[in-house]
Chains A and B, each alone.
Chain A
Amino acid sequence: MKKTFRLEGLDCANCAAKIEAAVGKIEGVKEATVNFMTTKMIIEAEDEKMPEIIAEAEKIVKKIEPDTVMKKA
């Protein structure tokens, strides 16, 4: 399943690339894309692991960009 999130306050393109790479490495994630221009993140992952993946992704976003908030789109 695919889930879309908004990354509010995403200001740095390099951080977007870092978040994309880190979220893509979470176990169970098939594909993660962060679009710097639309500030959207799309995570494609297995259904049953989704809640944990989202929690993990939130941590990653906080760590890489403390000012950015991950919100459901």
Chain B
Amino acid sequence: MKRKIYRITTGAIVYIIAILIKTDIEWLHFLLYLIALLTVGGDVILNAIKNIFKGKVFDENFLMSIATIGAFFVGDYPEGVAVMLFYQIGELFQSYAVNKSRKSIASLMDIRPDYANVKKADELVRMDPDEVQIGDIIVIKAGEKVPLDGKVIEGSSMLDTSALTGESVPRGAETGDEILSGCININGLLTVEVTKEYGESTVSKILDLVENASNKKSNSEQFITKFARYYTPIVVIVAVLLAIIPPLFIKDASFSDWIYRALSFLVVSCPCALVISIPLSFFGGIGGASRKGILVKGSNYLEALAKAEIIVFDKTGTLTKGVFNVQEIHPIELTGEELLEIAAYTESYSNHPISISLQQAYGKEIDNTRITEVEEISGHGVVAAIDGKKAAAGNAKLMKKLGIPYYEGELIGTAVHVAVDGKYAGYILISDEVKPDSLQAIKTLKRSHIKKTVMLTGDNRAVAEKTANILGIDKVYSELLPGDKVDKLEELFQEKTENGKLVFVGDGMNDAPVLARADIGIAMGGLGSDAAIEAADIVIMTDEPSKIVTAIKISKKTLRIAQENMVFAIGVKILVLLLSAIGIATMWAAVFADVGVTIIAIINSFRALNVKNTQ
């Protein structure tokens, strides 16, 4: 690389000297320019000759050599050298830019651990993570990457998961917790038992997925490759015709003039700008998305996402947290606080999810001495004495059993009815909670031209409709069995336009068939869930629905950049071809249309890497 720069600089100096020297001696001029040309582009001409013997015509080297030699032939020495000079400088820039973008993408994915500290007898041995086996004990110091998935057996610490999830809030890890490779240990010292080999570890799965994502090529990439296959031969043929035919048929047309125009054609005929810019944009988009904790399994999915029209959500675990929480408290005579206290105390011996959510809502320590005579009636609830008063908490069946009249209206969620001293005291409504960013996510999706949002759930109608109302979802299908979900999806397929895409978002646990059937299957909360990573086309590592909005934005931006590059590159090339054909554009313009456009396209595709936060 350095040697090439020296050579080009030397050649450029000789070139400038050749321009500055005013002499009438034609051969001296020629000689100086020839020396400049050979210094700058000797390797190109040599490669061209070598390639011809290998049966490979029409490559860049050949086209550039013909163009410069041709320029010398028609007496345009300065331009001949200039074409070669700029071509070489352009090539240097191009390989610099490609390397730079490869590196910046690689650094995005810099989650690969370099070593693991394995405990052997009494000492720590640094090993390649690849060589560590299941059951080995490893030690992770503060500031180090977690090299393999494992279980903490000693110590506690905070883990930075941002490389995996894009989430900046650290997670705690304590003895007994499972931890994932790719996280960074922030402060404590952790001793961990390895539970997965490196190849099966989270970090290596994610790296594999992102690196291989650009293997699945997008439509625009396929189009441009096909375009390039025809573009070069056609331009070369037109160039040959241009050199021969007009001088034969047009009066006063000189061969040298038309050959010059044809040579410009040859310079423009290289398709590199087109072919390079599209995959680069997509790779940037995929890299940028992975930095936000969104794994896209292929350029084709990233491209398709921009055309999303109908988005179908699973309810539990996707739009809602999938955990039960106290939603409403309806006391009679007592205060809400008192009702909750009685319910929490009565149910305090049970470890049912409902009881746990009551304890959480109550939020104070339970004083066990206040509770006596606890009796759990399976499938009904609990009867106990609190401060000597007889209390009952449970479902409607319990109230019926005890012969206590209770509120019988339709309730959305699970109701815990409470009675004190045989008198109805009110009820507490417990239900799954909507995720904090679900509402904003749906709103933003609608603003970004998603035609329809749909929710599928196995939950009962009242709960489903209430959730849909809160979130502003267009259509709800409730009380579905897992098999019904695919049928509903089929129905929804009828509603989209031919080019529109149907997206399904689920938690990846039991909706694999639906994820597979949708045009694009998005799984949420993928961190640590192999099933989700397996089944989906796009995996959102955190469980935030707002990341769907981010993903669509990245998709649209990437696609726009790819299209800009495509239109710009093809447009400039065709324009320069036309101008050259009528003799307005010089060979300088042609060189710009080749390397200049390539560099601009590469720089433009860098933008795909930068992803702004959506909030």
Contacts and interface: CB of A to CB of B under 8 A. Distances in A.
A39 B54 CA distance: 24
A13 B60 CA distance: 12
B283 interface: yes
Contacts of A17: 225, 228, 275
Contact of B214 (A14, A38, A64): A38
A11 B4 CA distance: 15
Contacts of A66: 47, 50-51
Interface string B22-58: 0000000000000000000000000100110010100
Contact of B228 (A14, A38, A64): A14
A11 B47 CA distance: 15
A35 interface: yes
Interface residues of A, number: 17
Contacts of A63: 54, 56
A11 B95 contact: yes
Interface of A: 11-14, 16-17, 33, 35-40, 42, 63-64, 66
B110 to A, nearest CB: 14
A37 B47 contact: no
Contacts, number: 51
Interface of B: 47, 50-51, 54, 56, 60, 94-95, 98, 101-102, 105, 211-212, 214-215, 217, 225, 228, 270-272, 275-276, 279-280, 283
A37 B68 CA distance: 31
B54 A37 contact: no
Contact of B275 (A13, A37, A40): A13
A37 B228 contact: no
Contacts of A38: 102, 211, 214
B215 A36 contact: no
Contacts of A42: 212, 215
A13 B272 CA distance: 6
Contacts of B225: 17
A64 to B, nearest CB: 7
A35 B60 contact: no
A12 B228 contact: no
8 contacts: A11-B98, A13-B275, A13-B280, A17-B228, A33-B215, A37-B280, A42-B215, A64-B56
A66 to B, nearest CB: 7
The 9 closest A-B pairs by CB, nearest first: A13-B276, A13-B275, A37-B283, A14-B275, A33-B215, A17-B225, A11-B95, A38-B211, A14-B272
A40 B211 contact: yes
B65 to A, nearest CB: 15
Nearest to B56: A63
B271 A14 contact: yes
Nearest to B226: A17
B279 A13 contact: yes
A33 B298 CA distance: 13
B367 to A, nearest CB: 62
Contacts of B276: 12-14, 36
Contacts of A33: 215, 217
Contacts of B98: 11
A23 B117 CA distance: 42
A12 B60 contact: yes
A35 B215 contact: yes
A61 B95 CA distance: 19
Contacts of A11: 94-95, 98
A37 B56 contact: no
A17 B221 CA distance: 10
A34 B545 CA distance: 34
Nearest to A39: B102
Contacts of B279: 13, 35-37
Contacts of B214: 35, 37-38
A35 B211 CA distance: 9
